[in-house]
Structure 1
Amino acid sequence: MKKIIGLVFLIVAVMLTTLFASGSLKISDITKVFSKKYDLPIYSTKYIPNRVAEEDFKFAIKTAKSSDKRILMEIGGDWCPWCNALDAFFIDNSDLKSLMHDNYVVVKIYRGKENYNSNFLAQFPKILGTPHFFVLKPDGSLLHSQGTEVLEKGRSYDKLKLQTFLKRWIKK
């Protein structure tokens, strides 16, 4: 039975790898399915250059206050390999993605050549790279600024480190 289950997982992994490589399936397709489960707003699932960061942040504050959650702001862009690796990591580790969305209002803010969001980001500590996390109180005040390089492992992320980070900043 274990061999059959292992074989099924191997077949699924090969199929997904083939679909990703051919471009027939994108990470955003899987994200859409997960987003429906949580009924997440678009600003929680995608980096969009032309979105108004200030408006998304205001809405995140409103949502955080009403749900009594902290805000996890993720700065990055679809152009960023480490941002894509982080998205893929959360897809592969749905328990951590659930931990994140169960306990935080997530808002993704685009930062890249199409829109640096400099005016919006000027209110926060300077960031040196992407992705970057800001943990904020429900009122939008900063609790913590965290580069993700310390959460990396090889070409991806370290599950225990990310889990520890998320659990550390959950509102108690």
Structure 2
Amino acid sequence: MKKVLGMLAIGLLITSQLQAQENEITWYSFEEVIDKVEADPKMILIDVYTDWCGWCKKMDKDTFTDKDVIAYVNDNFYAVKLNAEDSKKKFNFRGKEYSEQGMARAMRVSSYPNFVIMDAAMENITQLPGYREAKPFVNSLVALLENFKH
């Protein structure tokens, strides 16, 4: 009986983890994406935020919880959260050491929220500054990918 209950518990845990993956954007650190993009090339969506930014919090609460946004971002991008004021966490990119703050500056981000789009070669393509509701956010990402493919 204990084995059956144990198997059932494992099954429920796996099921809940799969549902969680479908119900939220999979966020990576910048350094994780450096490795992922080499193994499986994909565009990168970087959410540059600050802890004090009210519109950033609204994006997290409203836009990033929308099922269409979640599905589109997870299917088409590696999503990264980058705190524009974090100077402690360090990583290497193209032979240089950066903090998240330093990377945000290098990307020339000066307002929040701001979404930096990189191609699979990790070159900046564009920025999408400002708060966006779910449907317009997905529409802008779809248009961007369509333009990029041509």
Per the normalisation by structure 1, the TM-score is 0.57
- Pick closer, same or farther for the CA change 1:138–1:91 going to 2, 3 Å: closer
**Aligned with 1:74 (options 35, 47, 55):** 47
Q: 1:60 to 1:146 in 2, by over 3 A?
A: same
Contact conserved, 1:61 with 1:139, CA < 8 A, in 2?
no
What SS does structure 1 have at the residue aligned with 2:106?
coil
How do 1:1-172 residues align onto structure 2 when only pairs under 5 Å count? Answer: 36-37=20-21, 44=27, 56-112=29-85, 115=87, 117-124=100-107, 126-149=108-131, 151=132, 157=133, 159-170=134-145, 172=149
Structure 1 residues 36 and 95: CA distance shift in structure 2, 3 A: same
Q: Classify the secondary structure of the residue corresponding to 2:139.
A: helix
Say which structure is richer in strand.
Answer: 2
CA offsets 1:98-143 (integer angstroms, 9 cap, x no match): 111111000100123x54844222321x223111110001121111
Distance 1:107 1:162 in 2: 16
Change in Cα spacing, 1:90 to 1:123, as seen in structure 2 (3 Å) is: same
- The one-letter amino acid of 2:138's match is Q
How many angstroms apart in 2 are the aligned matches of 1:40 and 1:165? 17
Alpha-carbon distance between aligned partners in 2 of 1:138 and 1:144, rounded to the nearest angstrom: 13
Distance in 2 (alpha carbons) for counterparts of 1:75 and 1:147? 9
Report the CA distance shift for 1:80/1:127 in structure 2 as closer, same or farther (over 3 A). Answer: same
RMSD: 3.0
- Report the alpha carbon displacement of residue 34 of structure 1 after superposing the two structures with TM: 8.1
Q: Distance in 1 between matches of 2:61 and 2:25?
A: 17
Q: How many residues align?
A: 120
**Residue type matched to 2:105 in 1?**
A
Secondary structure of 1:122's partner?
helix
Please, which runs of 5 or more residues in structure 1 have no aligned partner? 1-31, 46-55, 152-156
Percent of residue pairs bearing the same amino acid type: 17
In structure 2, do the counterparts of structure 1 residues 75 and 57 end up closer, same or farther at CA, with 3 Å as the change threshold? same
